[in-house]
């Protein structure tokens, strides 16, 4: 062991050295439990050698690599200082970003949105989720587009619950196209609510994390929270409401136009979807894809594109999304 240590130190002495010191930051929180954050950073810089002790990190390597790492390290410190946390998603976003705009967001967008069930603190977890929060604060209509697991719907429901609790709106309306994966409501057993529940389950799941069961049931019974298929929006004017259209990639042109024109006074509209997962019949144009093109230059309409860096599910989900993206980009 002594021999190996001497050889390792000799190798380090042949490399250039960069010493980085943490000031006004808790080293344990920054480095992570058992230096987990440092271990993750190492994966992105295999050419560098790291030694973390106390509030200092010594980094050994070639000048060019050290210079690049120093810049990225400053970004990590800036992020930690702003949000008082550093996790796997933040590290990945910062170390793989092309510019600060790829991962940065106003500090207010990282604030707690809702105090959920069991004292759970619900807030935006990734850079793009924080950008989504900021866009929703500055626009009345926002399109949040990205693959499954990126937290777009969950963040949207949290924003809606926050608006209701702060009395910024009088009701929450959650809707989805009722026809998905080739199934039609008319061929499903049970009454309307029983028929809708399988389609609306992700929305119910999010609400149950944020509102106590008795309160949620009361809100639904009184119509303060409404969960209904998109067809039920026809002919309505949605005033004083936070409205979320989920799975919008499965809307047609007439459905999307109908929905967007339901917007009434003091209303917030969020439209979420994944253009890569359209379940419409062949040759049908997705209302979401069309809306993103038609409305991209309209003032007051915000658009955010989430990606695999925002996935907070099992780590394999990121790899699955990346693998499919590679195939789809070849088509």
**pLDDT tens-place values along the chain, 331 residues long:** 444 544 445 454 556 888 888 887 888 888 888 888 888 888 888 888 888 888 888 888 888 888 888 888 888 888 777 777 777 777 877 877 766 655 555 545 457 788 778 777 888 888 888 899 999 999 999 999 998 888 899 999 999 999 999 999 999 999 988 754 344 555 445 555 555 566 677 888 889 999 999 999 999 999 999 988 888 888 899 999 999 999 999 999 999 999 999 999 999 999 999 988 888 888 888 999 999 999 999 999 999 999 877 776 666 776 777 787 777 666 5
Please check whether residues 155 and 46 belong to one and the same domain. no
**How many residues in total does the chain contain?**
331
What DSSP assignment string belongs to 122-178?
EE--SHHHHHHHHHHHH-SEEEEE--TTSSHHHHHHHHHHHHHHTTS-SEEEEEE-S
Among the candidates 39, 72, 102, a domain finishes at 102
Question: What CATH number corresponds to the domain at position 69?
Answer: 3.30.1370.10
Together in a domain, 97 and 216: no
Q: For residues 297 and 281, what is the distance between their CA atoms, to the nearest angstrom?
A: 29
Q: Give the domain extent around 115.
A: 111-330
Structural domains in the chain (count): 2
Pick the closest to residue 27 from 57, 1, 60, 64 (CA basis).
57
Q: Which of 102, 132, 151 is the last residue of a domain?
A: 102
Residues 74 and 116 occupy one common structural domain:
no
CA dist 207 and 205 (Å) reads 6
Q: How far apart are CA 155 and CA 125, in angstroms?
A: 9
The CATH number that applies at residue 152 is: 3.40.50.300
* Same-domain status, 249 and 301: yes
- Global model pTM greater than 0.85: no
């Amino acid at each position: 062991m002594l021999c190996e240590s001497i050889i390792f130190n000799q190798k380090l002495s042949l490399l250039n050295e960069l010493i980085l010191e943490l000031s006004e930051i808790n080293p344990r929180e920054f480095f992570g439990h058992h230096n987990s954050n440092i271990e993750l950073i190492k994966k992105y810089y295999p050419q560098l050698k790291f030694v973390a002790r106390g509030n200092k990190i010594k980094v050994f390597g070639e000048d060019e690599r050290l210079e690049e790492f120093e810049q990225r390290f400053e970004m990590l410190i800036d992020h930690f200082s702003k949000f008082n946390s550093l996790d796997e998603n933040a590290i990945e976003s910062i170390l793989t970003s092309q510019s600060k705009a790829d991962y940065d967001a106003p500090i207010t967008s990282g604030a707690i949105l809702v105090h959920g069930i069991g004292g759970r603190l619900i807030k935006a977890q990734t850079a793009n989720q924080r950008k989504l929060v900021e866009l929703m604060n500055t626009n009345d209509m926002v399109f949040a587009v990205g693959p499954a697991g990126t937290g777009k719907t969950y963040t949207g429901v949290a924003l809606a619950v926050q608006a209701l609790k702060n009395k910024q709106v009088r009701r929450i309306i959650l809707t989805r196209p009722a026809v998905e994966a080739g199934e039609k409501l008319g061929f499903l057993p049970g009454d309307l609510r029983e028929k809708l529940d399988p389609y609306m389950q992700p929305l119910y799941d999010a609400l149950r994390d944020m509102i106590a069961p008795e309160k949620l049931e009361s809100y639904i019974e009184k119509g303060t929270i409404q969960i209904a298929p998109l067809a039920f929006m026809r002919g309505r004017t949605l005033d004083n409401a936070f409205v979320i259209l989920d799975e919008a990639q499965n809307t047609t042109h007439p459905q999307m136009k109908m929905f967007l024109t339901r917007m009434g006074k003091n209303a917030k509209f969020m439209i979420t979807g994944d253009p890569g997962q359209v379940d419409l019949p062949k040759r049908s144009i997705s209302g979401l894809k069309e809306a993103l093109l038609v409305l991209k230059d309209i003032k007051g309409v915000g658009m955010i594109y989430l990606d695999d860096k925002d996935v907070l599910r099992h780590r394999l989900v990121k790899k699955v999304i990346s693998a499919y993206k590679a195939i789809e980009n070849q088509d």
